[in-house]
Structure 1
């Protein structure tokens, strides 16, 4: 049973791992709800992008998405055929297809937001209203730090550690400040 007064010594219960586990659980639960509606996370992302950003060129949407281009193109075709998105051709600097969300698409997105809210309620059922507000505030701060590039800083000076070397013969090697991979007794497994 979880006891909030005691921290865990397990590295797999550190916040970064717990956030990752929670994210995977949320992705899975939302994907299940989307699948029930005949949609995928790509459909949802595209509808959300068009609702938030307004009309966009098909090429821009495809390059903006994190999914493979073929999957994005298929999802856009699905949304067009379901009339959740509409297309128009404009001739500004050449021929370009511009996509916009339709009123039906906005209604569908509202339903998906309701599904997300229900998923959130299920996941956070064990928290009080105050704890939910606090969690939301903390997660916003974490996301803001991530957006600023926190965690992508180079390793602080004065530290050494282990790294997997590059090349055809990769080894787990100890690296010291200002020195490349170590040779000799430190090469091997961390101890």
Structure 2
């Protein structure tokens, strides 16, 4: 009886071990060879730039930038006129040497004004490009996340970071980007 129990336990353990090994083997066979994927961000950004969705965003931000520049130019024109009037008033009744000093002083004021305006314009332009970049990469991130979830990929990296292996999700992300750009405008 004891020998039968040992044999029975041995058979049960062998079956359990075999079941576990078969399960692990089957799991490995059904799991994608590469768990990670990659995307070509440059290609995606260039493609997204061509969508209507991006073009509308670009147009909106560009109009804001142009409006800012126009207001800045009007303000600069008013300041230039004020400086010129101030300069002419100070020059009245002065000799040539004093007038030259006044011209230099006000010339410097005008240069500073133009430099300040240029700096403000460049700052606004940088903000403009940052908004566009943020919109592009936010959209790429959103779509990549959806595609990765559909494909069962827990990790997606930038193509430049991949030396070997992985699956290229760029075509799927590209297709979804183009479709979402068109759907956003219907």
User: Structures share a fold, TM > 0.5?
Assistant: no
Higher relative contact order (CA 8 A, sep 6+): 2
TM-score by length of 2: 0.28
Specify which structure has the higher proportion of strand. 1
Specify which structure has the higher proportion of helix. 2
